[in-house]
């Protein structure tokens, strides 16, 4: 792969503020569209379905989220729904538990059940080769950084790390910790959206949390990029130029 192609593939990493800002724009756009399409009524139906499970509602949601993660389905929609169904606190807890459980199960599948087929699938993937090279030297740091910085697709990470030498405990802990800011951003952002839909008022406290979390994420991503660039032998692992 040429140097130009590598730069183009990693271009989004040069501007770590883009993803949080885009999410804020999506939330605002969704607020307008949801009001036009009367999505509040449909959300109420979904809330009633989840509440029908009683105390098991959050457990059911965690199981659904974990299953979606193992099946490599996008979790963003479920993260958004959690904010509307459970509110910010319970929503963050359920999404965090579901995404971590799903990531852990995918890791175990890759390491113990489907290693051969997954190795063939990822053998020619340049991003996975870079991940494997880095993880061999600094497993905990690489798990943390790749969860914060959009270097690799989320579903690729879940299975890819199972093929590396990172320990299961290290992978699960740092995945949970470094996915948490993104979880807060999604859940609280859409909790604010659904509050507007259902109550007709702007929850400025929730919006403030979203803005602060987005700013913290930008700072964390910049720090993570700097840490990645300083890793020993990082140059041998074709680290994107935008991380230097």
Identify whether 100 is part of a domain.
Answer: yes
Q: What is the tens place of the pLDDT at every residue in 142-155?
A: 788 888 876 667 77
Identify whether 6 is part of a domain.
Answer: no
Identify whether 191 is part of a domain.
Answer: yes
How many Cβ atoms are within 10 Å of 140's Cβ, its own excluded? 15
Identify whether 4 is part of a domain.
Answer: no
pLDDT over threshold 70, residue 221: yes
Quote the CA–CA distance of 133 and 197 in Å, as a whole number: 47
Identify whether 144 is part of a domain.
Answer: yes
Indicate the pLDDT class of residue 95, thresholds 50, 70 and 90. very high
Q: How many domains does the chain have?
A: 1
DSSP string over 129-191? HHHHHHHTT-HHHHHHHHHHSTTS-HHHHHHHGGGSS--HHHHHHHHHHHHHHHHHHHHHHHH
**HSE toward the beta carbon, residue 37, CA cutoff 13 A:** 10
What pTM did the predictor assign?
0.70
pLDDT at residue 91, rounded to an integer: 94
Q: What is the tens place of the pLDDT at every residue in 167-205?
A: 899 899 999 999 999 999 999 998 988 888 777 788 999
Q: What is the tens place of the pLDDT at every residue in 31-42?
A: 565 556 555 555
Range of the domain at 143: 14-243
The whole-number average pLDDT for the span 93-118 is 86
**Residue closest to 86 by CA, chosen among 6, 161, 39, 78:** 78
Identify whether 35 is part of a domain.
Answer: yes
pLDDT at residue 116, rounded to an integer: 64
Identify whether 202 is part of a domain.
Answer: yes
Identify whether 197 is part of a domain.
Answer: yes
């Amino acid at each position: 792969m040429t140097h130009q192609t590598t730069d183009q593939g990693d271009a989004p990493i040069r501007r770590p503020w883009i993803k949080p800002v885009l999410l804020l724009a999506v939330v605002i756009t969704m607020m307008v569209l949801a009001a036009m399409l009367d999505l509040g009524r449909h959300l109420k139906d979904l809330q009633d379905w989840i509440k029908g499970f009683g105390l098991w509602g959050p457990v059911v949601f965690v199981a659904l989220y974990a299953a979606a993660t193992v099946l490599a389905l996008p979790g963003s929609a479920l993260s958004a729904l959690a904010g509307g169904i459970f509110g910010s606190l319970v929503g963050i807890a359920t999404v965090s538990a579901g995404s971590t459980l799903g990531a852990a199960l995918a890791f175990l599948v890759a390491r113990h059940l489907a290693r051969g087929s997954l190795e063939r699938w990822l053998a020619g993937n340049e991003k996975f080769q870079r991940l494997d090279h880095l993880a061999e030297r600094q497993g905990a740091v690489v798990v943390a950084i790749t969860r914060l910085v959009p270097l690799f697709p989320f579903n690729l990470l879940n299975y890819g790390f199972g093929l590396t030498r990172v320990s299961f405990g290290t992978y699960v802990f740092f995945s949970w910790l470094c996915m948490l800011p993104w979880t807060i951003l999604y859940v609280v952002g859409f909790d604010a959206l659904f509050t507007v839909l259902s109550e007709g008022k702007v929850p400025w406290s929730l919006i403030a949390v979203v803005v602060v979390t987005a700013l913290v994420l930008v700072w964390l991503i910049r720090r993570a990029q700097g840490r990645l660039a300083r890793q020993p032998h990082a140059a041998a692992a074709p680290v994107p130029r935008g991380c230097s």
